[in-house]
Amino acid sequence: MSQTPRIIPIPVSCRLTGGAPFPLTAHTVVATGGEASLRGVAGQLAKLLGVAAAESAPAGGNLIALRVDPALTAKLGAEGYLLTVTAGGVSIRGGGAAGVFYGTQTLRQLLPPDLERFGWRAGGGGLTVAALEIEDRPRFSWRGSLLDVSRHFSPVAEVKQYLDTLALHKLNVLQWHLVDDQGWRIEIQQYPKLTSVGAWRDSTVRVGDEPNLDDIPHGGFYTQEEIREVVAYAAERFITVVPEIELPGHSSAALAAYPQFGNTDAPGYAPKVQSRWAIFPETYAPKPETLAFLDHVFTEVLALFPSKFVHIGGDEAMKDQWEASPTTRAFMQANQLQDGHELQSWFIRRTENFLTQHGRRLIGWDEIQEGGLAPGAAMMAWRDVKWAIEAARLGHDVVMAPTSHTYFDYSEGTAEEEGGAIGAQTGLEKVYAFDPIPAELEPAHHGRVLGAQGQLWRERMPSLPVVEHRAFPRLSALAEVVWSPVARKDYADFRRRLPWLLARLDRLGVNYRRPRQATLPAAIPMVPHA
């Protein structure tokens, strides 16, 4: 084929096979062959197309056949798939149910954007898909996005909409930043004040008018039932929700609710749910009641989130209150901890032990490495990829989330263009150019890089439309970074394909940012394309 298909992220290979196209009509049936693990995938595809789903194929039917093929698992992995389109039918075979799901997302992008609203009717008399064969599998297993709901809260419906958009991009991890100084957002039944007190702040610093406060209360939290609902919704889209429960710092909201778990004898100790964007001195104190509290919190968290990885934050913990508290200083002395960095490591190691005993794995921001990384811990590099290189060489799994390329709270354009975003100019092309495998990292350690993640820190993103405006299409570019083979990456070609994705986001009501010099066609033509 002379041009790559208009799919983002670009598949590993795509071959137009010639011959007549597949007609998508009112009579098309999505068939699973009775495979229970595909019922949800089939239901979602049938709903999108506006056609029926069936367990078995009706004779002579116009079929989209979904199948898990164990023979493909070895070749393409559980997330890989083969998509074959002929006049007689569409076949999507996956190495696992996830692969089949990704095949359906590719089929979706082979159909015009109006599909999103009208299903098969989008073409008037039906639609066609060109005869082709696509073989595909992801480059990385961690294809993530962090959503901060502490600085600004999003109700469940918004989180679901965000998950929908991640799924379209074949992204598979939502790091849910549930806890920070400005709000605690997850119900913990044993500690009700975490949400009755910790989920609410009385005011927020005004965007563009800092440091003035708006005097408007802000808050919200997810009940455990809502958390389960989001986790299940994500799972149907093959997205793992990784909860982030920050410790030992970023704990002002928790300590506002339960001050007894902090350094109560540090002079001036008075925790509150914070209204400003800064780093605050509140840290958990290493005393038995605090450790019991943390264990109880994690016990409830683990019951809600099946994710193997649990993110414990670990970033930006100020050491001041530990140093200022006679009790904490005595604890450090008794445990031969030289300084705050070693106490920070002590907290992380203890949490790592707890998670390991419960069959989980700890992941944390790169500061957790400063006093030595716990043996099985994974690390998320944000300040600099050099931390990831060091950790990978020591045999730790790493996820790349550097401020330089993946912080989408940083502006895309100049400060004048952006009105309030952090003025670092992380443009679309820069994001696209990111390679999660650093050039300096020896090939023997490449397997330690699980993938990469785009961050949506919401100090200056009060609502979902603003989040979407910062996220897309930069997260679309990052999706191609983490999914597609390096040999398939081509920025000019990505920009050629992008208008079709943006037209689709239009139909879905996603408030993406229109890229500069975008060559958006006036109208996306209603023709099958590949």
Which spans of this chain sit near ligand ACM (rule: CB under 6 A)?
Answer: 315-316, 365, 382
Min dist CB 401 to ligand ACM, Å, is: 8
Contact criterion met (CB below 8 Å) for 488 and 137: no
Min dist CB 380 to ligand ACM, Å, is: 8
Six-digit token pair at 304? 């809600």
Min dist CB 316 to ligand ACM, Å, is: 5
d(CA 389, CA 369): 12
Buried b (16+ CB within 10 A) or exposed e, 449-478: bbbbbbbbbbbbbbebebbbbbbbbbbbbb
Residue nearest to ligand ACM (CB): 315
Nearer to ligand ACM, 366 or 480 (CB): 366
Nearer to ligand ACM, 84 or 453 (CB): 453
d(CA 446, CA 466): 35
Min dist CB 311 to ligand ACM, Å, is: 10
Six-digit token pair at 411? 């502006």
Nearer to ligand ACM, 365 or 500 (CB): 365
Q: Is 49 exposed, middle or buried (0-12, 13-18, 19+ CB in 10 A)?
A: buried
Nearer to ligand ACM, 69 or 282 (CB): 282
Q: Among all residues, which ones are annotated catalytic?
A: 180, 250, 316
Count CB-CB contacts under 10 A for residue 144. Answer: 29
Contact criterion met (CB below 8 Å) for 92 and 83: yes
d(CA 400, CA 387): 10
Going by the DSSP 8-state scheme, the letter that residue 169 receives in this structure is T
d(CA 316, CA 526): 51
Nearer to ligand ACM, 453 or 476 (CB): 453
Nearer to ligand ACM, 92 or 245 (CB): 245
d(CA 202, CA 272): 10
Encoded amino acid at 208, one letter = G
Six-digit token pair at 117? 């609203």
